[in-house]
Structure formats: C-alpha cells, structure tokens
Amino acid sequence: IKLGSPCNYTTSGRLSTLCPPHDLFTGTSLLNIGWHPHRPSANVDYSFLWGITASGSRRTYRATTATLPDAVAPLLQEGSHVHTTVRELWLTDVPSATGPQKDLLPKDSVLLLKNAIAAMPALKTFVLANQMQVGWMCAGPSLTLLPDMRNANTRPPITTLRIVYGYGPELRSLQNHNVWSLRIPLVLAGILDELASGAYDYLEHLVLEIPHSVSVNPGELARLREHFVMAEVKVMDNMPEMDLPSYCVEQAAWPKSVKSEPWPSRLW
C-alpha cells in the first residue's frame, strides 16, 4: 500500500480473509457506511450490499460486502483504532425502519451500528444521507441509531447533524428526466418526535441539504429549527457526497470496471 494512494477492496466473503495491514486505518477521520441496492443483471432481482469507506489524509479504504458484520470487521480487528479518530460519520441510504423485508434494516444490524457509533469518542458530525432510496423510505430521516443521552453515562460528543436528502446526480442520469419534475416530500414528523423526547439534546447545529425537487412543510421546518442553536437549509442543484482526499480522484488509479458506477459514496 502506497502512502497517498487509495486502497480498494471488494469481497463477497468474510473480510478477515483480506488481511489488511493493521495500521491501514491509522488517522481515519471520515467514515461512510452505506447500504446500496445491487442488481447484477436485468434477469436478477435486486439485493443489497453494504459499503464502507474509511478515509484519512494518507489512506482511503473502500470495501463492499453482503453483510454489515463483514463490512465493519476490519474496523474491529485487533490493533485498529479507527473508532477513536473518526470525526465525521456518514450513513448513506441506511433505512430508519427495521423488519424482515429485504429493504428494511435487520435488528442485529441496528444494534451493531448503535454500538459502533456510541464507541466513537471523537465523532463531531453525523450525516444522514439519502441519495438512493427517496422513493422507498417514506418515514423520513431518523436519529434512532444515535446515542440516547438519557441513558448515557457521559454526554455524547456529536454536535452537528447533516441531513442530505435527495437523489444523487449519478442516479438522476439513469432515470427518465420527467421524474425530476415531481415534488418529493421530506417528512419530518418522525425526527421531530425524536428531538422532542430530549434524547438528542446534545445536537447543536443542523445542516439540511435538499434538491429543488424535494418539498418541506414550512411548519415542520420551523419546528425543526427550534431544536438547534444554529440551523441552515441549503437548496442545491447537486447533492453532496463525502469529501475525499485529492488522491482518490487521480484518473490513473480509476479501475475501468467502476468508472461509471452509479452508486453514491464510491471512491473512483
């Protein structure tokens, strides 16, 4: 592994077989965990893949697996201290609802994510990104994976909540352009109830980023602002993704097979 070069691992088996270097995640400050629909061909029904991106100033790691435990296994290996240095965490297209259906989050995955987030002492910014499943996730954004300060021994370190809600440009380019003339509602009722409980009073700053095609009820938006010291709403032409170091966009390092990959949070 060269310093300043991206590292890209893909596996359908257990990540422990990859044997990444024990210091691979040293200095990781950005972490993205995503749940992306996968359809290898038109004759196969879609399934889901977990993706993880761990990025720092010197190294970036990317892997996709069939299960969440496999995706986070390298982070939990002996000698890995990634959870102690992560300052910004993205959850991309991870549904807020749980259940046995394939497009809902299994309960064991919920527990694993909650424990992982609670064990990040340097985490300052939590990003809920929904760039793929706007049409499916009618429940809207949820904070249920964050620590509940009513049950915590110490005040959680997270102070900033970013909500990125809208289809990313890659998916838009694949769909009928007439779809984007429709106004998609962003439902805030659920997150308003969660904030009113007092469980997330440690959140001070809100950044809501939506495209022009997403509508927000003005009354709900006003109530949402009341729960934060500072709130900012951005209506954007292109939805943001996790910032990556410049070495991740070096064209010479782009594998041809994924150059046009439509899923968000990819590296190259």
Sketch the domain layout of the chain as residue ranges.
Answer: 5-258
pLDDT per residue as tens digits for the range 195-211: 999 999 999 999 999 98
* Six token digits for residue 222: 């006003």
Non-local (6+) Cβ contacts of 256 within 8 A are none
Instruction: Give the tens place of pLDDT for each residue, 229-240.
Output: 999 999 988 888
pLDDT for position 2: 29
pLDDT digits (tens, 9 = 90+) for 167-188: 655 555 545 555 545 567 888 9
Q: Answer yes or no: is pLDDT of 127 > 70.
A: yes
Confidence band, pLDDT 50/70/90 cuts, at residue 23: low
Helix (H, G, I), strand (E, B) or coil at 108: helix
pLDDT recorded at residue 9? 40
**49 has a pLDDT exceeding 80:** yes
252 close to 25: Cβ distance less than 8 angstroms? no
> Which residue is associated with the tokens 């602002």?
225
Q: Tokens for 163, please give them.
A: 């909500």
- pLDDT score of 36: 78
Mean pLDDT, range 123-146, rounded to an integer:
79
> 3-class DSSP state for residue 109?
helix
Residue indicated by tokens 């038109």: 42
